[in-house]
Amino acid sequence: MQTQYSLAPVANVLLSELGKDFAGFVRSCIGEDVAAAIATLPAGRVILLENTRFHAGEMANDSRFAEQLASPFKILVNDAFAVLHRRQASVTGIAEHVPVVLPGLLVRKEIEALSRILFSPTRPLVVVLGGAKVEDKIDIIDSLSCRASKILVGGRMAFPFLYANGVLVGATQIGGKLQTQLAKDIELRARQRGVDFILPDDQIVASKLQPQATTSIVPLTLTCCTNELEPCIPEGLQGGDIGPATAKRFSNALEGAGTIFWNGPMGVYELPEFFSGTKSVAHAMAIATQHGSVTVVGGGDSAAAIRKAGLVADNFTHICTGGGASLEVLQGKILPGLQIFKS
């Protein structure tokens, strides 16, 4: 799943943050309009260019597109931590065409915070994973299980694991056979490494994950059905959030953690019907912070969910802007976007 939306609304945010220092929004990121805006830009002022992902060359890391992006600039400061794990034109390709490439202050802060978890976490380390980017992130659970004492899996991420455990999940998307097999292997290896691997025991379900959906709570244990072929989540329904029993179990599992890393909401937090699991975990993590745990939340949606739960930066040790990027740092990978700096 790749994000592709106009940055026009961000212009209003920049205007209120920067006032007269913000010189406006340009509805493209390459070409004559950009050159003209830069040519008339007074020193010390800032402009915002449109999302590079509207061009196919961005995700394809096309060198011609990267060159067009780079052409007006002599110095590039890359502060887009959340995409540093992507080999795409505005992250890696562009660096070949700009003489000086430097990391921004946010990138430095993120790497410092994550390095502490990678190299010297206060133990035990508890990892909470959820969200919807299953294909992207499922592999990462395998390497995190070498470091973590407990792994809690919620959100859509939990479903290939549940299915691999024989839990029939109705209309919930579980990915292909390959993902289920992968989930089975990852969970087995984690357990062999002594990790306490915790999956949801119940789920809030509905026929559609939409506003005002009629919801119900179903248990997800193998004994939830009288007949072993009967699905735990009835046909036509899908899981949209962890249920109250799981929310309680996950919250309890965070108590006493030395370090907690969380990426990915426990459900479709955007909708009130499927927000309660994410809210509970967010508040449990905030309490853990008060009790001395190092708490790091990673990911654009996870950070948004925390704000929605009424929590602020002070309730956590660090809120990281990138989920996928932070998970790859925690795997010990050197992100492609960190290999491009030159001065």
Ligand X SMILES: Nc1ncnc2c1ncn2[C@@H]1O[C@H](COP(=O)(O)OP(=O)(O)O)[C@@H](O)[C@H]1O
Contact residues toward ligand X15 (CB under 6 A) are: 2-3, 82-83, 86, 133, 299-301, 322-324
Q: Which residues are annotated as a binding site for ATP?
A: 137, 270, 299-302
Nearer to ligand X15, 263 or 276 (CB): 263
Q: Which residues are annotated as a binding site?
A: 137, 270, 299-302
Q: How near is the Cβ of 322 to ligand X15 at its closest, in Å?
A: 5
130 binds, among ligand X, ligand X15, none (CB under 5 to 8 A by kind): ligand X
Whole-angstrom distance between the N-terminal and C-terminal Cα of the chain?
34
Q: How near is the Cβ of 15 to ligand X at its closest, in Å?
A: 25
Closest-CB residue for ligand X15? Answer: 323
Q: How near is the Cβ of 301 to ligand X15 at its closest, in Å?
A: 6
| DSSP secondary structure string for all residues of 124-182 | SEEEEE-SS-HHHHHHHHHHHTTT-SEEEE-TTTHHHHHHHTT---TT-----HHHHHH
268 binds, among ligand X15, ligand X, none (CB under 5 to 8 A by kind): ligand X
CB-based contacts of 242, cutoff 8 Å, min separation 6: 154, 155, 158, 200, 202, 203, 204, 250, 266, 267, 277
Stretch that binds ligand X, among 27-35, 60-68, 131-139, 244-252 (CB under 6 A): 131-139
Per-residue tokens: 288: 């853990």
For residue 217, give the 3-state DSSP assignment.
Answer: strand
- Per-residue contact string for residues 261-300; x = within reach of ligand X by CB under 6 A: --xxx-xxxx----------------------------xx
Stretch that binds ligand X, among 53-61, 130-138, 142-150, 285-293 (CB under 6 A): 130-138
Q: Are 241 and 204 in contact (CB under 8 A)?
A: yes
Q: Is 77 exposed, middle or buried (0-12, 13-18, 19+ CB in 10 A)?
A: middle
Q: How near is the Cβ of 300 to ligand X at its closest, in Å?
A: 4
Residue of 305, 306, 322 lying closest to 314 (CA atoms): 306
- Per-residue contact string for residues 211-250; x = within reach of ligand X by CB under 6 A: ----------------------------xx----------
Q: Is 124 in the site for ligand X (CB under 6 A)?
A: no
Q: Is 156 in the site for ligand X (CB under 6 A)?
A: yes
* C-alpha to C-alpha distances, 4 to 71, 73, 84, 320, nearest whole angstrom: 23, 24, 17, 21
- Per-residue contact string for residues 68-107; x = within reach of ligand X by CB under 6 A: ----------------------------------------
Bridge-based pairing of strands 196-198 and 202-206 is unpaired
Phi, psi for 75 (deg, rounded to 5) = -130, 135
Q: How near is the Cβ of 171 to ligand X15 at its closest, in Å?
A: 24
- Per-residue contact string for residues 313-332; x = within reach of ligand X by CB under 6 A: ----------x---------
**Dist. CA 195–CA 60, nearest whole Å:** 38
240 binds, among ligand X, ligand X15, none (CB under 5 to 8 A by kind): ligand X
Edge to edge, the sheet with strand 150-153 lists 196-198, 150-153, 125-129, 259-263, 294-298, 318-320
Cis? peptide before 124, omega within 30° of 0 = yes
Q: Is 52 in the site for ligand X (CB under 6 A)?
A: no
243 binds, among ligand X15, ligand X, none (CB under 5 to 8 A by kind): none
**Residue numbers at the binding site for ligand X (CB under 6 A):** 130-133, 155-156, 209, 239-240, 263-265, 267-270, 299-302, 323
